[in-house]
Amino acid sequence: MSQVPEINFKSIPKSLIILAGLFFLLPSAFVIIDAGHVGVVKKLGAVQSEPLTEGFHFKTPFIDKIVEVDVRLQTIRSSALSASKDLQTVKTVVTVQGSLMPTLAPIMYQKVGSIQAINLTIIQPAIKESVKAITAKYTAEELVTRRGEVKIEIQKSIQSFIDTTLDNKKIKNGIEIANVAITDFDFSDEFNRAIELKVKAEQEALQAKNEKIKRVTQAEAAAAEKKLAADASAYEITAGSRARADAIKREAQALKGNPALIQLRLAEKWDGKLPKFNGSSAVPFININDKD
């Protein structure tokens, strides 16, 4: 068997040994925290209260362990089954945007855990309980028609639930909710059919009302047109009658004051034939010069 050659460490330069030691120790002597994160320092397993900000930091090799915690805005989507005020089953899908307070990241990590643990043990229960509590205050129809109001109440309820939970752990304002969006309200098939029938009935009623208004408007327009025509005809008849009456009145006054004009009117209307009288051959004569 061949013998393994022995290594004579005494023959290795000390500088080379120091460089090799630095090569292995140097990576564990510093840490770089990524943007949007803070570093939670665990010194021999004990969490330190001061977080490391983003950038370069020295640490004690083999003593300090750094856990990076994401403090950027997180989006969490959750669904919850609940009952409305009128006992309709509602499935509500809610999206919550929130973030950890960077200065409280160490104590949050110490008393709650990682981001995943925070989501599961605090935020998800807050969403479900808040949705159930708020939807129970509204009817199914109001959840749709007053969606903005419902959203605000759910957001306030989620923040209150989180604050209460963290206060019990002596952590105040550890999580800040930035926004809540109600992605969807999903009702039972029976309720959806009832809504469709109601909407259809309302549309038909509105259509009937509009048609009635249209017919009334057309009838009123026709009646107004007839009235205008009748008024015009009546005015024409009245005006003609007044004109004829005035003419007759003027002529009567003229005849009354001028007997000769009466004789002239009679002469104008004579057809040239002498009247015939029984029992007499006398011919009447009209004296147009008679002024009496």
- Band of residue 154 on the pLDDT scale cut at 50, 70, 90: very high
Looking at every residue in the chain, the average pLDDT score rounds to: 80
| 3-class SS letters over the chain | CCCCCCCCHHHCCHHHHHHHHHHHHHHHHEEEECCCEEEEEEECCEECCCCECCEEEECCCCCEEEEEEECCCEEEEEEEEEECCCCCEEEEEEEEEEEECHHHHHHHHHHCCCHHHHHHHHHHHHHHHHHHHHHCCCCHHHHHHCHHHHHHHHHHHHHHHHHHHHHHCCCCCCEEEEEEEEEEEEECHHHHHHHHHHHHHHHHHHHHHHHHHHHHHHHHHHHHHHHHHHHHHHHHHHHHHHHHHHHHHHHHHHHHCCHHHHHHHHHHHCCCCCCCCCCCCCCCCCCCCCCC
Domain boundaries, the chain: 16-69, 74-187
What is the CATH topology of the domain spanning 74-187?
Tetrahydropterin Synthase; Chain A (3.30.479)
Q: What digits encode the pLDDT tens for the residues 123-152?
A: 999 999 999 999 999 998 899 889 999 999
In b/e form, how buried is each residue of 151-176, taking b as 16+ CB within 10 angstroms?
Answer: bebbbebbbebbbebbeeeebeebbe
pLDDT greater than 80 at residue 166: yes
- Band of residue 26 on the pLDDT scale cut at 50, 70, 90: low
Q: What digits encode the pLDDT tens for the residues 216-247?
A: 788 788 877 777 777 777 777 777 777 777 77
Average pLDDT over residues 244-271: 66
